[in-house]
Amino acid sequence: MIQKTNLTKTWLSVVLAFLLVVGTVLTGEELLAFGEESSNVPVYRLYTPVNGEHLYTTDWNEVNVLTSRNGWIYEGVGWYAPSKGTSVYRLYNEGLKNHLYTTDTNEVKVLTTRHGWKLDNNGKPLFYSGGSIGIYRLYNEKLNGMHLLTTDANEYKVLPSYGWQQEGTKIYGIKKGSMSYNSNISNTSSQYTIEADVQLTGSGTGYHAKLVACTATSAVSFGIQYDKWGIAPYTNSTTFLIENVANNDAGGQTYTRTGFASTGTTYHLMMTVQKNGQVDVYVNGMKAGSVKNKNLANQTVYLRVEASGRKNGDIVNAVFKNIKLKGSGTYDASKVWGTYIFDTNKNIRSNTNSFSSGKTVYISGTVTGIASSEDWDSAYDKVSGITQFVE
């Protein structure tokens, strides 16, 4: 008994040392799971902004590899599974680039023999289903038939408005886990942060509302964008979009869509900038993606909100409420910030009258004055309303 306790303590020490190195913080409940030999098996949940997939695993080494080398984001423990019960298999489709979780051995047989799916985990069960906690399953046809598992009834209720279809309870667990949904400007370390409740509406071929962190020649922006001509599967859709501008030359910009969004819906968005140029973005308190821009490293960074239209005649209406700002590495809620308007299109206007009292900025209007052959890529400096915040 003493020997087992020492081994457990040694293992936990190793885990704690590793977590300090990689910067991952686990809850006490998650740490206890490492030392348990009971039926509570943690099922970890990860997310990739590359295609919007969530992945589930009981293997902490897989979590480590995917987050440290492959750009996946650790979201917490989805739920706790029993050590015995109904087998849950994980399958992967190389063509679709997503995974499926099922207890149905006939579904496994059909998918692996006829539809190009392969069993993960050497064909063994990944974890087991059992207990009284229902795990809901959702399906998204637009995301190549991707599935999502969740114990959160609110998440299950809300996601259909973003293109997901409810499939009912497919798996059961012993108890719910702990997800990381509460990141905000006060509890998230950074050198610079901008946070706001953002709503986008408009009409035409494209329009967006963004949070921006920039220097004179480089920038990272994050927000909500509708684009009639967006790349598949985001064509004619509204998405959360990161634009990473290394420079203003052709090819100096990269775009990352972190998921589908909706116009007319208010989202709580946050973007943080570290001293080394690392930028993390959050939607409703959950980390949604990361990029790095070396030209923001160890520089004075300016924080802005921006709204744009894609072509002549496109209309944009953006509302940024409850704006919070950090510019010195420490958030001071009492600090007074000023505003400076940088509107680049005469018919898209920033309204900062409510900023001092209500921390709100409105940007709205219609794109005019650019050539018929131009759009927000070729005439990026002519299609926006921009408000910069001044310390």
* Per-residue model confidence as pLDDT tens digits over 97-145: 899 999 999 999 999 999 999 999 999 999 999 999 999 999 988 888 8
Q: Which of 118, 150, 176 is the last residue of a domain?
A: 176
Are 151 and 252 found together in one domain? no
Answer yes or no: is 183 within a domain: no
Are 314 and 347 found together in one domain? yes
Report d(CA 144, CA 160) in Å as an integer: 16
Whether pLDDT at 165 is above 80: yes
Whether pLDDT at 21 is above 80: no
- Domain of residue 109, residue span: 39-176
Are 95 and 232 found together in one domain? no
Sheet holding 253-260, edge to edge: 253-260, 237-245, 219-227, 206-214, 302-309, 384-390, 338-341
Q: Is 245 helix (H, G, I), strand (E, B) or coil?
A: strand
Are 92 and 135 found together in one domain? yes
Q: Which residue would you say has higher pLDDT here, 24 or 67?
A: 67
Answer yes or no: is 1 within a domain: no
Whether pLDDT at 322 is above 60: yes
Whether pLDDT at 12 is above 60: no
Nearest to 91 by CA among 69, 61, 73, 113: 113
**Cα radius of gyration (the chain):** 23
Question: Among all chains, which residue has been given the structure tokens 């400076």?
Answer: 340
- State the DSSP string of 317-379: EEEEEEEEEE-SSS--TT---EEEE---STTEEEE-TTHHHH--EEEEEE--SS-TT--TTTT
Whether pLDDT at 290 is above 70: yes
- Residue 80: is it exposed, middle or buried by C-beta count within 10 angstroms (0-12/13-18/19+)? buried
Are 210 and 118 found together in one domain? no
Specify the amino acid at residue 265.
T
Are 360 and 281 found together in one domain? yes
Q: How do strand 192-203 and strand 286-292 relate by DSSP bridges?
A: unpaired
Q: What is the mean pLDDT of residues 235-244?
A: 94
Answer yes or no: is 46 within a domain: yes
Q: Which residue would you say has higher pLDDT here, 129 or 6?
A: 129
Q: Which residue would you say has higher pLDDT here, 203 or 40?
A: 203
Answer yes or no: is 32 within a domain: no
Q: Is 202 helix (H, G, I), strand (E, B) or coil?
A: strand
25 touches 18 (CB < 8 A): no
* Confidence at 181, pLDDT banded by 50, 70, 90: low
Whether pLDDT at 352 is above 90: yes
Are 385 and 241 found together in one domain? yes
Q: Which of 176, 206, 232 is the last residue of a domain?
A: 176
Report pLDDT for 161: 80
309 touches 366 (CB < 8 A): yes
Are 281 and 325 found together in one domain? yes
Work out how many domains the chain is built from and give that number.
2
| Ordered alpha helix ranges (H), the chain | 2-22, 28-35, 60-69, 105-114, 153-158, 355-358
Report pLDDT for 205: 98
Q: What is the mean pLDDT of residues 334-362?
A: 97
Are 142 and 200 found together in one domain? no
Chain segment 50-100, per-residue pLDDT in tens:
777 889 999 988 988 888 777 788 888 999 999 999 999 999 999 888 999
Are 130 and 76 found together in one domain? yes
Task: Report residue 104 CA to chain centroid gap.
Answer: 31
Specify the amino acid at residue 331.
Y
Report pLDDT for 16: 39
Report pLDDT for 154: 83
Whether pLDDT at 311 is above 90: yes
Whether pLDDT at 180 is above 80: no
Answer yes or no: is 33 within a domain: no
Specify the amino acid at residue 305.
V
Answer yes or no: is 9 within a domain: no
Nearest to 256 by CA among 283, 295, 291: 291
What region, left, alpha or beta, does residue 208 occupy, with left being phi > 0 and alpha being psi -120 to 50 degrees? beta
Report pLDDT for 51: 79
* Length in residues, the chain: 391
Q: Which of 110, 145, 176 is the last residue of a domain?
A: 176
Q: The domain spanning residue 372 has which CATH number?
A: 2.60.120.200
Are 154 and 225 found together in one domain? no
* Confidence at 289, pLDDT banded by 50, 70, 90: confident
- Residue 117: is it exposed, middle or buried by C-beta count within 10 angstroms (0-12/13-18/19+)? buried
What H or E segment, with its residue span, contains residue 198? Answer: strand 192-203
Answer yes or no: is 340 within a domain: yes
Sheet holding 73-81, edge to edge: 54-57, 41-47, 73-81, 175-176
Q: What is the mean pLDDT of residues 178-193?
A: 86
Are 200 and 155 found together in one domain? no
Answer yes or no: is 10 within a domain: no
The answer to pTM > 0.75 is: no
Whether pLDDT at 209 is above 90: yes
Q: Which two tokens stand for residue 368?
A: 């005019």
Report pLDDT for 327: 95
